[in-house]
Structure 1
Amino acid sequence: MAAETSVEITDQALATAADPVVRQLVTEGMASKLAAQDPTLWGPDAESEAAVRLSWTTLHDSSRPLLAEIDALRAELHSEGLDRIVLAGMGGSSLAPEVITATAGVSLVVLDTTDPGQVADALSGDLDRTVLVVSSKSGTTLETDSHRRLFEQAFSENGIDSASRIVVVTDPGSPLEETGKNAGYRKIFTADPHLGGRYSALSAFGLVPAGLAGADIATLLDDAADAFAALSADEADNPALRLGAALAAAHSQGAEKVVLTDTDSGPVGFSDWAEQLIAESTGKNGTGLLPVPVENTRASGFANAGRDATTVAVGLPEGTAQASTTGPLGGLFLLWEFTTAVAGRLLGINPFDQPDVEAAKQAARVLLDDPAGGPVSTPSLLDGAIEVHAVGDWLSPGVGTVSEALRVLLATAPDTGYLAIQAYLDRLDDASTTVLRPELSRRTGLQTTFGWGPRFLHSTGQYHKGGHQNGVFLQITGEPETDLPVPGRQYTLAALQRAQALGDGQVLAQNNRPVLRLHLTERAAGLVELVKAIQDLREAGPDQGTGKDRT
């Protein structure tokens, strides 16, 4: 029997604050109405969007016909010696399959980057065994289209029929579906269009790449189905009502950050998936909950974090768990989706749109339209292997080092603020960059997030522009050792990566948020120098980062 999907509120004050909210939700029939896909739950302004975004509540049933199709295709591919699955997808099209396969312990190469080194690494794999899954809800995702073009070229150059090696997952009628049909791609899966990407874990977007890679997706749906009964019940012990009410109660008390971690409980990378769900769903209209995924609790010492829980800390600093969720992966997906929809109602926002995501995309496109890759960005100073670029007019005159520039940036953060580190680098070769998050968090007392660019643009990027406007932003870019021209386009991957970083920086600056871009002229040496510059910062005292306004 599968483990029960459940929630434990370990902080009594938070549980007490949430109780009357839960009772009100039960009286209103929130859970059963959500399960029945009632679009009126979030008010008249959200009704038209909600009416075409609620199919996720029953995907554990509606996705079952996919299982036989995926199994048949996997068997067919294996009979031809094709067992290396590469996924080109962004946001919800990559985060859920990555969690599913990592948790199952099966291999999936995920391409959600424009870094030419990381893409080149994927292209250098054994193409004779490779199948590319191109996954895009809109069918126009710029990064994914670039990956598709590069793999088509690589297959052809190696004497491989590219059409036979490409599988598509997209919405019906999308440009990608048309491209796939015209090119004769191996298989086209059209997903239910009545759901958003971040709610698509149990749809074709999550199941096709994970199933082709060998994950047990049938059990995933079974576990979600088991959880649905409790999540759809108008009862006080409904875990989604309890957790959603707790999140909203904490927010009403001034706690706008949600610290997420796991406890070696099984799901691998679950916090990264939940990060997109929470940030993109709630971060709008100047409000919302900012998820802060942190390192494994075995290393960071979370109190009350049970062995079998994926843990969330709300309203308290790192080191204290206020709530934990427990259950198999399929149940956890559905629990957090229900929870986020409930929290959206309580926060008074539409949890299904993403009104501020497009701004950064448009800014990047404008830069790419310039054959030279956009305007020249002149550094404010050069410190060793690091160029310092200040976006906006917040940097004080006379600053001469990276450490000094960091101090000025951090001094602009309000007491209720946060620091977002955005690394436009190679997630494989530059993986050590993630050490910057705990280092800066400890030394500043600020809640600190870390995102790989442009991956985070499809996740926390919405919150950065639409949520609480109290963030300060550290962009890290690097000179690529190699570059890849995108076939059929007038730009390279390096130009695209640069345009995405500069474009997002421009939009943040237009929102009066300070942005510091550190460009590593030599990546390895620059990262070493950056770590040293951070170590020069004074470490936060015991009274910093511990108040409610810091969480």
Structure 2
Amino acid sequence: MTVEVTLGDEAESVSPIRGKLAGEGVPAALAAGDPALWGAEAQAEAAVRLGWLDLPRTSRELLPRIAGLVERARADGLDHVVLAGMGGSSLAPEVICDTADVPLTVLDTTDPHQVRRALSDRLERTLVVVASKSGGTVETDAHRRVYERAFRDAGIDPATRIVVVTDPGSPLEAVAAEAGYPIVTADPEVGGRYSALSAFGLVPSALAGADVSRLLDDAAAVLPLLARDEDNPGLDLGALLGAQALAGRDKLILRDGMSEIVGLPAWIEQLVAESTGKDGTGILPVVGAEAAEDDDQFLVSIGPGDGTSVDGPLGAQFLVWEYATAVAGRVLGINPFDQPNVAESKDNTARILAEAGDGPLPTGVPLLTDGPVEVYGEVPGHPRNLADVLTYALRAIPDRGYLAIMAYLDREAAFDAAVVGEASFEEMAETWANADVATLRALLDYRTDRPVTFGWGPRFLHSTGQYHKGGPQAGVFLQVTGAVTDDIEVPGRPYTLGRLQLAQALGDLRALASRGRPAVRLHLTDRVAGVRHLLSVAEEL
């Protein structure tokens, strides 16, 4: 079984691009790992970023080591697996485990409420996978420190509960070795967003109960096709992405179709946005929309369906989408392996924390307050209330632009509103939606033909955050933050999780403002009431 790419109405426009790529020998050269495919400027980096092409084979060497970790965890009764990782270290395992229907608690957040929720869940049976390619990811470092303290306070040796996945020679490897943590090192020639089939994808997924050997089998089955000029799903998909973007259709609407795979669009979002969103160009993935509504958008369904679709097993799709993204990078003339603007928000965060010292963070003065929602930023026309602000955000979207909603909140908070007792699933789902700030995306999407994206902060900073700053000057940004009522100290660091989270939000706003990109921050002084008010106002627009 392989991956089938159905081009639908786009087949005619894709054919010349696909033919050109084949004529230039791209399929064979890419399958052979030729770093010259993206030009002289990208060659040095590409030379050390093509290891993902070999992962279906090389990752098999990890399977005995992973099996030993799984056996030890089962013997110790550790059935609550927590993954502390960001971006490529968390998105692939989340898709793998959701698709396999095995439980995995993912911490790709600095929200103290969400972290405390994980800490309070079966700590005595918890195994934490700390995953960071660089070994210096600030969020993951904070998670490790918080869990180390929690384990010690509970009389548990952290060395029996923490597994580390990192690149060889990273600072995290040194810390883990000193602490006695089991360490699995990943291939350093695989970038984070291309690491689904590496140790970063396999270790936490296997510990949670997924069959990772099958992922590698499925990827290995499709691998020989990727050297072909014909019947090459990666070439077909890459030519599609590149051809559409060159024709001005640079918004990729991703929809989950009738497929056994769960949540793949969220992984594709990072891969495509971070790989292509630079040098003022790029492809913007949009997750959650039902259809392409304007002429700069095109729809791709995951699973069999009408129109353009990509169908096949998860391991094979990981590899095909990675290959296609690399091909699209060549078509667009950009380096698909760097992320030149990601560090900017991180640097701003560190600078804001350092400048503030022990004092308050530079939040500014609210432009207006509407119930439990404070509005910060510049909104022309003297807005009177939240409805005026949301209306401004929608009207400010330029032609061929988009609106990005960025929520620095607990992404599981809506489940606290679950109906108990006799409620049907439909009633519970409606209750969750009415308490979930992510519902704002659908409400605002309904009121515009322009694409509306949604990202949880700081998670999206390792994903669409690159496109926001490096892509076209076409975005309007709506940031949502919330009051912290139950903060968590980060041992050995001069900040709490809540303070770090707010500094990350302010740091990203500073990066957007430096480029003249319209951005407004909505601060919920009461999170539950604030979400309810925000959604009710949006619904009445």
Q: Which amino acid aligns with 1:212?
A: L
Counterpart of 1:314 in structure 2 is none
Question: Deviation above 3 Å: which 4+ runs of structure 1?
Answer: 303-309
Counterpart of 1:169 in structure 2 is 165
Q: Which amino acid aligns with 1:95?
A: L
| CA-CA distance at 1:434 after TM superposition | 1.5
Q: Deviation digits for residues 141-180 of structure 1, max 9, x if unmatched?
A: 0000000000000000000001221100000000000000
| CA-CA distance at 1:237 after TM superposition | 2.5
Match of 2:382, SS state, is coil
Q: Assess if the C-alpha contact under 8 Å between 1:35 and 1:58 holds in 2.
A: no
Q: Assess if the C-alpha contact under 8 Å between 1:265 and 1:307 holds in 2.
A: yes
Q: Which amino acid aligns with 1:34?
A: L
| CA-CA distance at 1:281 after TM superposition | 0.2
Counterpart of 1:283 in structure 2 is 277
Counterpart selection for 1:385 from 360, 365, 372 = 372
Number of residues of Structure 1 aligned to a counterpart in Structure 2: 514
Counterpart of 1:223 in structure 2 is 218
Counterpart of 1:467 in structure 2 is 471
Match of 2:390, SS state, is helix
Residue 434 of structure 1 pairs with residue 438 of structure 2: yes
Q: Which amino acid aligns with 1:127?
A: L
Q: Which amino acid aligns with 1:526?
A: G
Counterpart of 1:189 in structure 2 is 184
CA distance in 1, matches of 2:267, 2:360: 32
Residue 350 of structure 1 pairs with residue 335 of structure 2: yes
Counterpart selection for 1:252 from 246, 261, 271 = 246
Q: Assess if the C-alpha contact under 8 Å between 2:302 and 2:309 holds in 1.
A: no
Q: Deviation digits for residues 16-59 of structure 1, max 9, x if unmatched?
A: 11111111111222112111110000000000010000000110
- Residues 226 and 477 of structure 1: is their aligned pair in 2 closer, same or farther, counting only changes over 3 Å? same
Counterpart selection for 2:175 from 158, 176, 179 = 179
Q: Assess if the C-alpha contact under 8 Å between 2:300 and 2:310 holds in 1.
A: no
Q: Which amino acid aligns with 1:363?
A: N
| CA-CA distance at 1:534 after TM superposition | 1.2
| CA-CA distance at 1:191 after TM superposition | 0.4
CA distance in 2, matches of 1:216, 1:19: 37
- Unaligned residue ranges in structure 1 (runs of 5+): 298-302, 312-320, 538-551
Counterpart of 1:5 in structure 2 is 3
Counterpart of 1:53 in structure 2 is 49
Give the fraction of aligned pairs with identical amino acids, expressed as a percent.
Answer: 54
Counterpart of 2:153 in structure 1 is 157
Give the TM-score taking structure 1 as reference length: 0.91
CA distance in 2, matches of 1:94, 1:463: 19
TM alignment of 1:327-476, pairs within 5 A:
327-369=312-354, 370-371=356-357, 372-390=359-377, 393=378, 395-430=379-414, 432-476=436-480
Match of 1:477, SS state, is strand
Q: Assess if the C-alpha contact under 8 Å between 2:93 and 2:202 holds in 1.
A: yes
| CA-CA distance at 1:304 after TM superposition | 10
Match of 1:75, SS state, is helix
| CA-CA distance at 1:305 after TM superposition | 8.2
Residue 130 of structure 1 pairs with residue 126 of structure 2: yes
Counterpart selection for 2:286 from 284, 287, 292 = 292
Q: Assess if the C-alpha contact under 8 Å between 2:301 and 2:310 holds in 1.
A: no
Q: Which amino acid aligns with 2:286?
A: V
Counterpart selection for 1:270 from 255, 264, 273 = 264
Counterpart of 1:317 in structure 2 is none
CA distance in 2, matches of 1:535, 1:304: 26
- Unaligned residue ranges in structure 2 (runs of 5+): 292-297, 415-434
- Residues 209 and 415 of structure 1: is their aligned pair in 2 closer, same or farther, counting only changes over 3 Å? same
- Residues 364 and 304 of structure 1: is their aligned pair in 2 closer, same or farther, counting only changes over 3 Å? closer
| CA-CA distance at 1:409 after TM superposition | 2.5
Match of 2:446, SS state, is helix
Residue 514 of structure 1 pairs with residue 512 of structure 2: no
Give the TM-score taking structure 2 as reference length: 0.93
Q: Deviation digits for residues 387-413 of structure 1, max 9, x if unmatched?
A: 0011xx4x1252110110122222222
Q: Assess if the C-alpha contact under 8 Å between 2:303 and 2:309 holds in 1.
A: no
Q: Which amino acid aligns with 1:503?
A: G
Q: Which amino acid aligns with 2:149?
A: Q
- Residues 403 and 420 of structure 1: is their aligned pair in 2 closer, same or farther, counting only changes over 3 Å? same
Q: Assess if the C-alpha contact under 8 Å between 2:376 and 2:520 holds in 1.
A: yes
CA distance in 1, matches of 2:536, 2:77: 48
